[in-house]
Amino acid sequence: MSDIIETSGPMIRWSGDKASWYFIVLTGDVVGEIHYAAMGRTGGFGSVKVKVTIGGTRWETSLFPDKKNGGFVLPVKAAVRKAETLSEGDTVSLSLQI
């Protein structure tokens, strides 16, 4: 991992039958940057391993392609949402290391 991308996106909530998941939606020019930085390093379902920094919180996860808008979604676990006081509808600034 070496490429660092600064971006922002809205936080959405997706509700399933038994639980809800929260994602930051990444669209626009950053999608091309992610594709370029991740060339030859994608996993199953087109996922991209990343290290994410939001505020003072850093963790490792994967971006997943979003067929609906041609971008990516970034899952945000409860511990991060709590530490950074993030809610559905917030525009979240973040740093991705790919």
Centroid of chain to Cα 30: 11
pLDDT of residue 1: 52
3-state secondary structure 25-44: EECCHHHHHHHHHCCCCECH
**For the chain, counts of helices (H) and of strands (E):** 2, 6
- If you average pLDDT over residues 15-31, what whole number do you get? 94
Domain ranges of the chain: 4-97
Taking only the tens place, the pLDDT of each residue in 27-73 is 999 999 998 988 877 777 789 999 999 999 999 999 999 999 999 99
Half-sphere exposure of 14 (CA within 13 A, CB side): 12
Q: What is the CATH number of domain 4-97?
A: 2.40.30.100
